[in-house]
Structure 1
């Protein structure tokens, strides 16, 4: 039963955005679609300079993508870094340990917003994580400096912050009903750069770089599939900010759901959800 009190009126002091809480199970509900961009990125990464390779995966989440690195480089020593204890627990339970090719896969807690390499790497990669770090291009120099000559820095990030899913979320968070609790929580990665800007940054740092973008037209199924998708990613800061206030969370989700239903009407075989991704592969010259 919902309270008659406006949920947004319970707290009238806006709090600064905090790190979102993550739900590995919700995130993995769409693992097929979420993994595809990384597979496309992985296919463009060239041979690494040494073997066995040393690899870092920044923002590894539940480790399902990190494990794909071990498929490509089976004897590599691979470390996934993430800030979320829940994601790390899932990654360690499902993927940590020796790999069939003689390598190792381990996971460590780290905030990629200020992560500095403590080793020399052949590959530093990141899959759909740097969008959460507003100043991430400022870290490129330190990360590339930690690569061996001929090593690679490769990443992909969502480039869909202007899509209806994200524009509607941002507008709802800034609406009079919600702004005191949620201002800024719906547009936390509008700072992602365009491919040309990433290309300029990476070439200035002494890399041979390739950047591009792809829009995936994903066919999602089930009831309110776009809402289910964003519950694993873009909605995490909102749900974290609302905390244990279940009435407020349910009210917000119902309002957002109705907006998404209008923006993404279902078809006979599912709901088409266009999703733009931005990619970069930079090889350190040496």
Structure 2
């Protein structure tokens, strides 16, 4: 389960990669714009504002996220990305911070690249910080004896989870698409106590929370907090720098 309210913590910082992504899409008057993995819909709304004449199609695998998106006025539906197929008039597809949750997303991108029509745009963005201390420390703690048995079913993602920009550039180029691929590391200033813990609680820690009862979850957080604070020491003013690497690709089929 996703917690839309928790996810929207730091919504301004979480939204920066989205706007950098769609800023590279040069579609002028697309007929249909699709947001795969729309989350609570706060970013999807900007697609409707940019292309007001387009049909807006939005989906997410989380019923909680879809409910929040609908409450925000986004016509979202519950759908697994594996089940999505482009309508003939699909001109823009956006998938923002979604495919890192999909182990076979490379095959999925190749499939979509073969299904979309000439002139279509496909824009993707995924986090590239799985080898950062934030994620390494989560994996280390989850692998300790106290937690290993409880969290054995949880897939803890490593740096093989996503590719680098050149891998996605090759994927699209091999399919005959023009592609712009790049990466950005945002140096984000987080405020509040245990700031990095609160940041990862909205995303990376979600599968762990789902696997634990409430008491175990609070104990896991309590053990993780000092490790994260050591890796990301707060500044004298109480804020914390957090480096956040993202991988982007925007492709167009000529």
1:56 and 1:279 map into 2 onto residues whose CA distance is 17
Structure 2 gap ranges (5+): none
- Secondary structure in structure 1 of the residue aligned to 2:187: strand
Q: Report the counterpart of residue 216 of structure 2 in structure 1.
A: 248
Of residues 132, 142, 150, the one that matches 1:163 is: 132
Q: Is the 2:97–2:127 Cα contact (8 Å) retained in structure 1?
A: yes
Q: CA deviation at 1:189?
A: 5.9
Instruction: Give the TM-score taking structure 2 as reference length.
Output: 0.95
1:200 to 170, 183, 193: 170
CA contact (8 A) 1:120 1:146 kept: no
Query: Which residue matches 1:68?
Result: 46
CA RMSD of aligned residues (A): 1.5
- Taking structure 1 as the reference length, what is the TM-score of the superposition? 0.84
Q: Does structure 2 retain, via aligned residues, the 8 Å contact 1:119–1:146?
A: no
Determine if contact 1:64/1:95 at 8 Å carries over to the other structure.
Answer: no
Indicate yes or no: 2:253 matched with 1:284: yes
Is residue 42 from structure 1 mapped to residue 22 from structure 2 by the alignment?
yes
Gap regions ≥5 residues in structure 1: 1-20, 97-105
Per the TM alignment, residue 198 of structure 1 is displaced from its structure 2 partner at its CA by 0.6
Matched position secondary structure for 2:235: coil
Q: 1:184 to 1:172 in 2, by over 3 A?
A: farther
CA distance in 2, matches of 1:250, 1:200: 43
Q: Is 1:23 aligned to 2:3, yes or no?
A: yes
Q: Which residue of 2 aligns with 1:188?
A: 157
1:106-135 deviations in whole A, cap 9, x for unaligned? 211111144333444101111101100010
1:204-215 correspondence to structure 2 within 5 Å: 204-215=174-185
d(CA) in 2 for partners of 1:238, 1:203: 37
Q: Which has the larger radius of gyration?
A: 1
Aligned length in residues: 252
Q: Counterpart in 1 of 2:232?
A: 264
Q: Which runs of 4+ in 1 moved over 4 A?
A: none
